[in-house]
Amino acid sequence: MDEIAPQIALLRQMYMGLDKKSRKAFLASIGHKDSHEERPAGNSTIDAFLHEKLGCHIACPDCKSETVVKWSVRKDGTRRYKCKACGRTFVLARNTVFYHAKIGLDIIMKYVEGMKEKDVLRLAAEKCGIGLKTSFFWRHKILDSLRGVMDGVRLDGIVESDETFFAISYKGASALPRDAHDRGVPASKRGLSDEKTCVPCAVNRDGKSVSMVSNLGKVSGADLENVFAGHVAEGAVWCSDRDRSYPGFAERHELYLIQIRSDGPRTRGAFHIQHVNAYHSGIKRMVNGHFRGVATKYLNNYLLWYNFFNYGGGTLDVLTDRLAVDFTRQRRRDIWSRPALPLLRAA
């Protein structure tokens, strides 16, 4: 193998220099089958997977009624149902991430397994034999489905809260509202400013976490409401730094607030904010280190990713169960057209 390595490297370079049409012509000339031709259509396999996950709880994706009857069977074995409430017909994959999928279930499951290992896009594409763009969109289709799982997270007991900040990134954008610069260039303004996105984070001692891109610069009480409302149990012990926005938030939600001074002891008995600081370090290593920075428009999805597997105790079974019942299918254009700054409060 070592003897032919230089020749293989040369052939690879020459092949990568060809355009898409020339590559197909070359592969056809040597009798190579396109990987898409080798893949099973996967429709009937996906249908069987959804039947296994849903059991007898089949609901109409339009009106959510479970008064459905069998309607027909396609040539590929996919079953179609009719809703007796609204009269519409549907297949089980309707409005899920599997709808109109052009890759088989085996490849999708392999991709999901890679997400647990936090595979980068190119590695995931190579493992699954798919294109880089397909890898990108499947990543965000799957991460979007996690939102329903994480929306149900409720923090109780001792909860630690603090904010972390990410520089605004327009990675992948075709047009920039500012001059382009290399990754890692520091912000032109010192300290907290409108050049950084604020991400309020909260974790409890059970390992649950909530975080979301909120605003630019310093956090406010309204920002805390936008991120944490509905995620905190009444009577929880809320540990934070001395930021002025926390007392009002704690009072509104009937929380017992303990604030830790940054210029004094870092603990007050069993109360501290060291767990949330460790959370900050972990999410920064993932986003800025492992993935070498992500576009701000997709940052919320990476927060979901980290929360689910690292703090939510998420498993592949929970994720695949969610994929089967999530009826918030995102099309490619929906993912691509997201706002560059997904802020909960206007800048």
Q: Which domains does the chain have, with CATH numbers?
A: 32-94 (no CATH), 158-173+191-315 (3.30.420.10)
End-to-end CA distance of the chain: 58
Beta-bridge partners for 202:
161, 210
Res 32: pLDDT: 64
Integer Cα distance of 335 and 142 in angstroms: 11
Residue 182 has a pLDDT of 76
pLDDT digits (tens, 9 = 90+) for 175-229: 888 888 777 777 777 777 888 999 999 999 998 999 999 999 999 999 999 999 9
Q: Please report, in tens digits, the pLDDT of each residue of the chain (347 residues total).
A: 556 766 776 676 677 677 777 777 777 777 665 544 444 444 458 999 998 888 888 999 889 899 999 999 988 788 999 999 999 999 999 989 999 898 999 999 999 999 999 999 999 999 999 999 999 999 999 999 998 888 889 999 999 999 999 999 999 888 888 888 777 777 777 777 888 999 999 999 998 999 999 999 999 999 999 999 999 999 999 999 999 999 999 999 999 999 998 777 888 888 999 999 999 999 999 999 999 999 999 999 999 999 999 887 888 898 999 998 888 878 888 998 999 999 987 66
Dig out the tokens for 241 from the structure: 């730094």
